[in-house]
Amino acid sequence: MQVMKSPFLIILTIVITSLRVMGQSAADLQDLADLERQLDSLLNRQPKNEWVFGLGFGNNPAYGGKTTDAFRPVNMKSFLSPNVSYNHKSGLYASTYAYYLLGAEQRPWFELDLNAGYDYTKHRNFIAGGSYTKYFYRDSTDVPPTPITNELFAYFFWRKWWLEPGISLDFGWGKYNETDGRNSLSVKGNDFNIILDVRHPFIFLDVLKKKDAVLLMPVASLTSGTAKYFSNLKSFRYVSRSNIAKKQGKGRRRRPDMDVPVETALSDGSAFQPRAVDLGVRASYIIGKVAISPSYTVFKLFQGEDTSITGYFTASISVTL
């Protein structure tokens, strides 16, 4: 960790926030909230109970028309995400995120996330934590369906070295049902991922005025795991058309002329393997009770139709009471 006073970061932050690149989904907004809690730990602030109200921006995979077609390409639509969280001084926290899709064909409020977890940030040499998230999706022709509606996430970072290594474990599971007349399909499944990170935080104090602070954190990551389903898991930070243009998994379909459900294999699934490598810059500027948190990431997928280097941007603003 380095603490310094410099106007350089303000210029860099403006550059980052002005980049016109692809936004990203729910997981990244929660990552930015985690970043703000880590900044409190790095600055050795006294833990206290607090409410945080925020608004995030990103893009979400969406269908381009009114009719759901699992085998056609999807496009990206911007969303706004109002959110509120309660952080207890013990490290426990709970939060809720709602998502409003701009340009939606119907039902723009397409998702609600409930999250609860614990962060241990009191030790000088490491931080660790875990969380559970429940995802609620509205039946919408704009958003691809997914069976992944539950997530367990755990992380550990060693902070004693200049380069901080870390590991995160991410497991998602669930099911969803589709009904069309007498036809019904129940799809259930799970995804598991491991994320290896290396990062270093830079802290700038008194950038614009006394008692403000900025955290700049470059992060390099390798994500390995399964990618059988479209989801908002923390490990699923990338948009791969090859992954979400087709429904995947195994389900049970009820034929219209029979009452007995029959197995329907929708795909062969996806084995555990290296998925992507990325390099990102996460920032958080805190002035008084207001925090502005932009993030920019470039990544390269190892599988799929498009393995070129791609970038995306996410941002949020929050007020702490």
Say what the pLDDT of residue 103 is: 80
Q: How many structural domains compose the chain?
A: 1
Q: N- to C-terminal Cα distance for the chain?
A: 27
Say what the pLDDT of residue 247 is: 41
Say what the pLDDT of residue 198 is: 96
Say what the pLDDT of residue 28 is: 60
- Domain of 68, CATH number, reads 2.40.160.40
The CA distance from 160 to 194, in Å, is 22
- How do residues 56-115 score in pLDDT, each as one tens digit? 987 766 655 544 444 445 566 788 899 999 999 999 999 999 989 888 777 889 889 999
pTM of the model: 0.79
Say what the pLDDT of residue 107 is: 82
Say what the pLDDT of residue 48 is: 84
Say what the pLDDT of residue 70 is: 46
The CA distance from 208 to 30, in Å, is 26
Those residues of the chain that have pLDDT short of 50 are 5-24, 66-72, 239-268
Say what the pLDDT of residue 300 is: 87
Say what the pLDDT of residue 42 is: 55
- Residue 252's domain spans which residues? 2-320
Q: What angle do CA 145, 131, 87 make, to 5 degrees?
A: 115
Three-state DSSP string of the chain = CEEECCCHHHHHHHHHHHCCCEECCHHHHHHHHHHHHHHHHHCCCCCCCEEEEEEEEEEEEECCCCCCCCCCCCEEEEEEEEEEEEECCCCEEEEEEEEEECCCCCCCEEEEEEEEEEEECCCCCEEEEEEEEEEEECCCCCCCCCCCCEEEEEEEEECCCCCEEEEEEEEEEEEEEEEECCEEEEEEEEEEEEEEEEECCEEEECCCCCCCEEEEEEEEEEEEECCCCCCCCCCCCCCCHHHHCCCCCEEEEECCCCCCEEEEECCCCCCCEEEEEEEEEEEEEEECCEEEEEEEEEEEECCCCCCCCEEEEEEEEEEEC
